[in-house]
């Protein structure tokens, strides 16, 4: 059993019975689809029908018992914005008819001057023009939405660029402030030792000369480390650090870092190393891994004054390499936690301890580049544990 297609409807708004009858007869003689015809003699009746039904076409006279002229069309149009309207008019109403065309009507027919052929042609063109108008409106709406989305996206990108630029300016200013403070002490030491050697070189024995040169060397190394941190931080902010992976002998690297840290801190703390990793070699970026471990270990030592022991664990589990450094130092307050990884941020309880505030920001970026994650547990005056998880595959 075939399903009958939904019958299309035409609304004829005409108070003259003769004109209404003529339109119906002409429609029967056309090759147009068989429309179901609705009839309204007053504008109020038409308004009710338009709220109840969807029409393919509206044929309307502008002069009705309850409305006249352009106001008739203005009452109908808001209820039929997507339906083509053909105005039926007499010769004396051409000015009003032209006005309705400007307001949105598709066409008009002069009463007494059209037959079934002109009626069919006018209806077909009206429907086609309205359909094309709807397509244009829809295309304009899609284009407008795309443009609005594009403008919104570009505006967001611009705002982010401005924000990034401001951050870089802030970083530059912070660097100048930190550099002037942190470099002042080593530069003073170098200058004093150099002046002393220059003044008393001929009176000093070899041991005294070596002592002064070691002081100079130590401060140079310290300043080089500061510069390295600043350069690394700047590169991370600009996302200019490439990840270069290679095959690394893990135990050898860990032992070397362990020894370097103990040497650089003059064995001020005991670093208890636990190495429980089955992988002899791993694929990773050695420079990034070194940065992570050296910064974590030196931070733990620096912020544990008067404490002897630092925990240092390297283990493998569930396809992950776990690096953990723990101390029993001054800890981190809850207020400082949200800004912990921001460049140049220093904890509220670290004013008496020298530093740039770059270490953990460098660690964070290096871990992200290696697709890892960081877990921190800390309590004021009890210590801090920082665990880094890096994927092995």
What is the reported pLDDT for 319?
A: 85
Burial class of residue 140 (count of CB atoms within 10 Å of its CB; 0-12, 13-18, 19+): exposed
Q: What is the mean pLDDT of residues 309-328?
A: 91
Q: 186-214: per-residue pLDDT in tens?
A: 677 788 878 888 888 888 888 888 888 88
What is the reported pLDDT for 219?
A: 73
Is the pLDDT higher at 93 or at 331?
331
- Poorest-confidence range of 280-284, 316-320, 365-369, 380-384? 316-320
* Angle of CA points 50, 52, 54, to nearest 5°: 65
pLDDT tops 80 at residue 257? yes
Write out the H or E segment, with its range, that includes residue 80: none
**114 vs 129: CA distance, rounded Å:** 20
CB 363 within 8 A of CB 374: yes
The pLDDT confidence band at residue 297, using thresholds 50, 70 and 90, is: very high
What is the reported pLDDT for 42?
A: 94
**Residue 337 Ramachandran class (φ > 0 left, ψ -120 to 50 alpha, else beta):** alpha
pLDDT tops 70 at residue 120? yes
**183 vs 180: CA distance, rounded Å:** 6
Q: 31-68: per-residue pLDDT in tens?
A: 998 889 999 999 999 999 999 999 999 999 989 999 98
Which domains are present in the chain? 9-136 (3.40.50.2300), 161-237 (1.10.287.130), 246-391 (3.30.565.10)
- CA dist list (Å): 304 to 215, 263, 308, 379: 24, 17, 8, 13
Q: Which residues pair with 32 in a beta bridge?
A: none
Roughly how many angstroms between the first and final C-alpha of the chain, as a whole number?
Answer: 63
The pLDDT confidence band at residue 1, using thresholds 50, 70 and 90, is: very low
């Amino acid at each position: 059993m075939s399903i009958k297609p939904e019958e299309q409807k035409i609304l004829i708004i005409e108070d003259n019975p003769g004109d209404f009858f003529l339109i119906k007869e002409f429609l029967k003689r056309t090759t147009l689809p068989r429309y179901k015809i609705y009839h309204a003699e007053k504008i109020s009746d038409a308004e009710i029908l338009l709220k109840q039904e969807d029409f393919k076409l509206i044929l309307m006279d502008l002069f009705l018992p309850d409305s006249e002229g352009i106001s008739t069309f203005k009452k109908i149009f808001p209820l039929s914005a997507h339906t083509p309207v053909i105005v039926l008019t007499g010769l004396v109403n051409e000015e009003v008819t032209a006005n309705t065309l400007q307001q949105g009507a598709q066409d008009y027919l002069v009463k007494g001057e059209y037959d079934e052929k002109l009626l069919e042609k006018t209806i077909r063109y009206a429907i086609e023009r309205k359909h094309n108008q709807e397509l244009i409106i829809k295309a304009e709406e899609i284009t407008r939405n795309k443009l609005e989305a594009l403008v919104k996206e570009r505006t967001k990108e611009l705002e982010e660029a401005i924000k990034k630029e401001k951050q870089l300016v802030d970083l530059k200013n912070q660097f100048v402030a930190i550099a002037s403070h942190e470099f002042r002490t080593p530069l003073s030491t170098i200058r004093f030792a150099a002046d002393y050697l220059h003044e008393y070189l001929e009176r000093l024995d070899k041991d005294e000369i070596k002592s002064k040169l070691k002081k100079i060397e130590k401060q140079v190394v310290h300043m080089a480390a500061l510069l390295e941190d600043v350069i690394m931080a700047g590169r991370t902010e600009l996302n200019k650090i490439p990840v270069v992976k290679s095959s690394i002998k893990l135990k050898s690297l860990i032992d070397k870092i362990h020894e370097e840290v103990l040497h650089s801190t003059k064995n001020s703390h005991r670093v208890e190393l636990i190495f429980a990793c089955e992988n002899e070699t791993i694929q990773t970026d050695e420079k990034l891994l070194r940065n992570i471990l050296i910064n974590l270990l030196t931070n733990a030592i620096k912020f544990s004054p008067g404490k002897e022991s630092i925990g240092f664990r390297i283990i493998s589990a569930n396809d992950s390499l776990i690096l953990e450094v723990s101390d029993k130092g001054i800890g981190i307050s809850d207020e400082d936690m949200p800004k912990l990884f921001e460049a140049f941020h220093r904890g509220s309880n670290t004013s008496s301890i020298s530093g740039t505030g770059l270490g953990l920001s460098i660690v964070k970026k290096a871990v992200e580049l290696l697709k890892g994650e960081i877990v921190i547990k800390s309590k004021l005056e009890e210590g801090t544990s920082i665990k880094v998880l890096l994927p092995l595959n």
